[in-house]
Structure 1
Amino acid sequence: MKYLTRYCCIVLCLTAFTASVHAQVQSVDTSVRQSAIRSTEALYHQVIGGQSRLYNGSEYVPFPFPLNEGIPFFISDSMKVGDVSYDGMHFRQVPMMFDMVKDQLIVQESGSFFKIYLVNEKIAQFSLLGHTFVRIVPDSVNARTMTTGFYDRVYQGKTGVYVKRQKMIQETTNNEGIRRTVNDMIRYYVLMDGRYHPVKKEKSVLALLGDEKKEVRQYLRKNKVRYKKDRATALARTMAYYDQLTK
């Protein structure tokens, strides 16, 4: 009961504070409005602490068997600090890991070693190790070419470039028993006019560019943009230049 009373007081204070902010920002610019919102969120996180609705997922269960090669996580198998937009709020500096086999974002509960995975449907996006993952639910137009999940957004302009990064565990049998290897699966998409186009090589990308195809190809040659070296970066540079041409 004491906790409930304290919680209600906190909510009332936050509500009053937010209302005051909204009343003041009507006469100020967008940057001040955004600063006020961030201050409100920071106050919320400070007073709620471990009871934050960020920590309302289920316990993360590791794999019950050893993995002989590779890791199931994005880049690192240890907690790294990142940001996440979850359940309508934005949380900063959160220790997290991304299990790409189970498609689960894992966070560490405040003040403990307890790990939980967040509810995918409540995650709008998260940033981790320099990458921003957004959750895409394809509409009827795109359902044939992509599935619901987290996509690495590597470029966003008039067009967009998204990378679906997944991992799977492959099992093989030898004289020593079962050997399990974690393999990467990567698919690339270009977003144009509301449609996500799956692409693989430079040729399939240029085929989307219509009258600008020739000029874009010249740009790629001149600047030595190589798809074989780094496809995600090459795609981002291609579509960024295309957007410049079609302003």
Structure 2
Amino acid sequence: MRVFTIVLSVLVLKSVCSFGQTASSEPNGISLETPPETSYPVSLYKTATAQSQNLYNGRLYYIYDSRMEEHQFFEERKWKKGIVFYEGQRFDSVALMYDLVRDELVIKHLNGDPMLLQSEKVDYFWNEGHTFKRFESGKDITPQMRTGFYDLVYNGESQLLVRRTKQRQEKIVDKRVIAYFPEKSFFYIRKNGKYNFVRSKKSVLALFPEYKKQLRKALRDENIAFRPERETAIAKMVATYDALAKP
């Protein structure tokens, strides 16, 4: 065991010295640079000591309504590998699911049990092309916006946040109580440091009155219909505004 520890220490030092040779980043502006701890020697050490990591010290999570066809999670009711930035440390290849009803991040413990992370300790998590970042009401965002996770859909000079929610409801079918989870999305555009709630094309255009014609053209050129493709349309309009307003 002593020899194993010494070998690991040497390999860790070697990996730290080579840090920075491999890097990647997400288009939404949050760096996904590969940190030293994801290199093979350190990951090997982490695997051996994973039970003591803060990431796996949360409380158990019960997957409610697991027999229902609909579910409370973002996109699918199954584990997907993602990245979690927790208590100032990044963890890669974490099996996770995001409960939209409770706005809570669930990860899979090493023993297979679902486990709940403390939301206030999660800076952001990334999965399947979506970056969910935690914002505090009245501090990072306006007081009218709730504290919680927001999908950072576009991040430039301006910004588009989407608050994704589900609400648990019930209906009776053949004398059985069936749970279902309708989903809603709320869109916020940051312009000049202030977040503005938008939903219709008119409300988006009202934020950029000097570029109305160009923004409408941008949607036509890409054949984006606003109502059925609301999120894509808003993101396109915000990105187009940033390009046009660039000095």
What TM-score bracket applies, with the shorter chain setting the length? 0.7 to 0.9
Q: Give the Å deviation of 1:145.
A: 2.8
Native 8 Å contact 2:141 2:195 kept in 1: yes
User: 1:161-240 alignment to 2 at 5 Å?
Assistant: 161-173=160-172, 176-240=175-239
Q: Does 1:94 align with 2:91?
A: no
CA distance in 2, matches of 1:209, 1:239: 9
Q: Distance in 2 between matches of 1:217 and 1:143?
A: 28
Deviation above 3 Å: which 4+ runs of structure 1? 31-37, 40-45, 65-69, 140-144, 172-175
Residues 37 and 215 from structure 1, CA distance in 2 versus in 1: closer, same or farther, beyond 3 angstroms?
closer
| Counterpart for residue 46 of structure 1 | 44
Which of 152-161 and 207-216 deviates more?
Answer: 207-216
How far apart are 1:45 and its partner, in Å?
A: 3.8
Per the alignment, in what secondary structure is the counterpart of residue 207 of structure 1?
helix
Q: 1:76 to 1:235 in 2, by over 3 A?
A: same
Structure 2: gaps (5+ residues) = 25-32
Change in 2 beyond 3 A, CA 1:178/1:34: closer
Matched, 1:151 2:150: yes
Percent identity, aligned pairs only, is: 31
In structure 1, what residue type is equivalent to 2:98? Answer: F
Contact 2:79 2:96 in 1 (8 A): yes
Q: Distance in 1 between matches of 2:154 and 2:83?
A: 18
Using the size of structure 2 for normalisation, the TM-score is 0.80
User: Which residue number corresponds to residue 29 of structure 2?
Assistant: none
Matches within 5 A, 1:32-71: 32=21, 38-42=35-39, 43-49=41-47, 50-51=50-51, 52-63=53-64, 65=65, 68-71=68-71
Q: Which amino acid aligns with 1:245?
A: L
AA at the equivalent of 2:210: D
- TM normalised by structure 1 equals 0.80
Q: Where does residue 75 of structure 2 map in the other structure? A: 75
CA gap 1:104/1:32 in 2 versus in 1, 3 angstroms = same
Partner of 2:224: helix, strand, or coil?
A: coil
Q: CA deviation at 1:245?
A: 0.7
Deviations 1:61-92 (A, max 9, x none): 122x5664411111111111111111111111
Once the 2 structures are TM-superposed, how far is the Cα of residue 221 of structure 1 from its aligned partner?
2.8
SS in 1 for 2:211: helix
Task: Tell me the distance in 1 between the aligned counterparts of 2:55 and 2:70.
Answer: 29
Instruction: Check 1:56–1:214 CA distance in 2 against 1; reply closer, same or farther (3 A cut).
Output: same
Per the TM alignment, residue 174 of structure 1 is displaced from its structure 2 partner at its CA by 6.1
| Partner in structure 1 of residue 244 of structure 2 | 245
Q: Which runs of 5+ in 1 are unaligned?
A: 26-30
Q: CA shift at 1:37, angstroms?
A: 6.9
Show the counterpart of 2:27.
Answer: none
Q: Is the 8 A contact 2:142 2:195 kept in 1?
A: no
Mapped contact 2:218–2:236 kept (Cα < 8 A): no
- Structure with a larger share of its residues in helix: 1
